[in-house]
Chains A and B, each alone.
Chain A
Amino acid sequence: MSAYMVDKFIRAVELGDATVAEYVADPPAFVERWLAGGGTPVRPTDDRFLTEAERAAFAARDFGALYALGAHPYLLWHFTEAVYEHEYTEGSGWRELVERYRAAVAPQGLVDYIP
Chain B
Amino acid sequence: MAELVLAAVTPHNPLLWRAMTDPVPDDLRPIAANFARIREAVASHEVDVLVVIGTDHLRQFFYDNSPAFAIGKADAYHGTWENEVRTFGMEYAEVVGHRELADRIAGRSVQPDAIDFSVSLEWRLDHAFVIPLQYVRPELDLPVVPIHANASMPPVPSVRRFVALGEHLRRAIEDWDSDARVGILTSGHMANDVGGPRTFAGSPDPEFDALAAGWMRDGDLDGAIRVCSDVDRLTAAGSMTSQFLNAVAALAAMGGRAADFVDVPESRFSTSPFFLWSTR
Contact = CB atoms under 8 A, between A and B. Distances in A.
A complexed with B: yes
Contact of A102 (B59, B82, B154, B197): B197
Q: How large is the interface on A (under 10, 10 to 19, 20 to 34, 35 or more residues)?
A: 20 to 34
A16 B85 CA distance: 10
Q: Give the interface centre of B195, B199, B200, B240 by most chain A CB atoms within 10 Å.
A: B195
Secondary structure at chain A's binding surface: helix, strand, loop or mixed?
Answer: helix
Given A15-B59, A102-B197, A106-B197, 19 more contacts: A7-B62, A11-B58, A16-B82, A16-B83, A17-B83, A45-B64, A72-B195, A74-B195, A74-B239, A76-B195, A78-B195, A82-B83, A82-B86, A82-B87, A98-B199, A98-B200, A102-B201, A114-B154, A114-B155
Interface string B110-129: 00000000000000000000
A74 B154 CA distance: 13
Contacts of B155: 114
A75 B86 contact: no
Interface string A1-28: 0001001100100111100100000000
Nearest to A98: B200
Contacts of B195: 72-78, 105
A15 B153 CA distance: 17
A38 interface: no
A105 to B, nearest CB: 5
B235 A72 contact: no
B194 interface: yes
Interface in B145-202: 152-155, 193-201
A73 B194 contact: yes
